[in-house]
Amino acid sequence: MTQRVLGSGAFGRVHMAYAAKTGRQFACKVVDLNAMAAQVRGDSGGEKKSKFFSKRPQLFAKRKSTKAKPWNAYAPVLKRIEMQKREAIFLATLSHVSSHFSSYFQDQRRGG
Binding residues for ATP: 29
Is the CB of residue 29 less than 8 Å from the CB of residue 14? yes
Taking phi over 0 as left and psi of -120 to 50 as alpha, with beta for the rest, 86 belongs to alpha
Helix (H, G, I), strand (E, B) or coil at 100: coil
Helix (H, G, I), strand (E, B) or coil at 19: coil
Asked if residues 28 and 1 have their Cβ atoms less than 8 Å apart, the reply is yes
Give the Cα separation of 82 and 88 in Å (integer).
10
Q: From the annotation, which residues make up the binding site?
A: 29
